[in-house]
Amino acid sequence: MSRARTAGFHITGSALAVLFLLPMLWTLYSSVHGRRAADGGPGWGVDNYERLADYGTGLGTYLLNTVVVAGVAVVVTVVTTTLGGYALARLRFPGHNLLFLVTLAILMVPYTTILVPLYILLGWIGLQNSLVGLGLVLAMFQLPFGLFMMRSSFEALPRELEEAALIDGCTPGSALWRVLLRGVLPGIVTVGLFSFLAAWNEFVAPLIFLTDGAKFTLPVALFNLQSGSLGSVDFEALQAGVVTSALPCVVVFLLLQRHYVRGFTSGALKG
């Protein structure tokens, strides 16, 4: 009976994996199979990627813009939520629970409703039509979830770890840097990964905040490619763009997935 149940789990899991991977595999197939750039006939090759690379100001420019925006969002989100999560989990000051609840309440506000005020605010501080300004806006959208995650991560750590570091002569700052950050590393990776994926795939905010075509991120560039010219759409190049956009997300996830299952506190107080 147990063998039949195990086999059923494996079969179901394999079927779900194929179901989820099939659209991506079809996109990958379409990106290398289609009309050739030379004669417009069907064939195999990287002609779709070559047309994509020459689109607009160049694929490299759009990729670099997206990397800058995602990098700013990840750094700001990780640093801010790590320090904020430590303060809310370890420090006791008047109104700290209220501050945490107010921060979480931001999740109930549809972010599209505040894009226009943010657009005006960026104009006041000189960051309108700026990749850095866009990265800050996307980081702001990730702060509630990141703060919740990091507060929970710090609260899961035994206080004895920090107390032992303080007894050994560490200051609260050095204890955070030398000891506690290693314990909350899975939380940091989770926050950073979510922030990266959200910033990398964001479409609405870049469409509103960026007016210079040379500063467009990859999702906006692919949308313009999808719109076509004179009513025509290069679907094969668009599929190549989808693969190009998804590949960094897959690579980053595969590199960081081990941190989801690796723990630190399970044996921290043993021995």
pLDDT tens over the chain, length 271 residues: 577 777 778 888 888 888 888 888 888 888 887 655 444 556 676 788 888 888 888 899 999 999 999 999 999 999 999 999 998 888 877 877 788 888 888 878 887 888 888 889 888 998 889 999 999 999 998 999 899 889 888 888 888 888 788 887 778 778 888 888 888 888 898 899 899 999 999 999 999 999 888 899 999 998 887 655 555 677 788 888 889 999 898 888 888 877 755 533 333 334 3
Q: What pTM did the predictor assign?
A: 0.84
Q: Which residues contact 218 (CB under 8 A, 6 or more apart)?
A: 62, 63, 65, 66, 200, 241, 244, 245
Q: What is residue 81's predicted lDDT score, i.e. its pLDDT?
A: 94
Q: What is residue 1's predicted lDDT score, i.e. its pLDDT?
A: 53
Give whole-number Cα distances, 16 to 3, 10, 31, 252, in Å: 20, 10, 24, 22
Q: What is residue 266's predicted lDDT score, i.e. its pLDDT?
A: 36
Which residue is it, tokens 């226009």?
A: 116
Query: Where are the extended beta strands (E) located within the chain?
Result: 33-35, 42-44
Q: What is residue 263's predicted lDDT score, i.e. its pLDDT?
A: 38
Contact 184, 82 (CB under 8 A): yes
Q: What is residue 73's predicted lDDT score, i.e. its pLDDT?
A: 96
Q: What is residue 34's predicted lDDT score, i.e. its pLDDT?
A: 66
Q: How far apart are CA 123 and CA 129, in angstroms?
A: 9
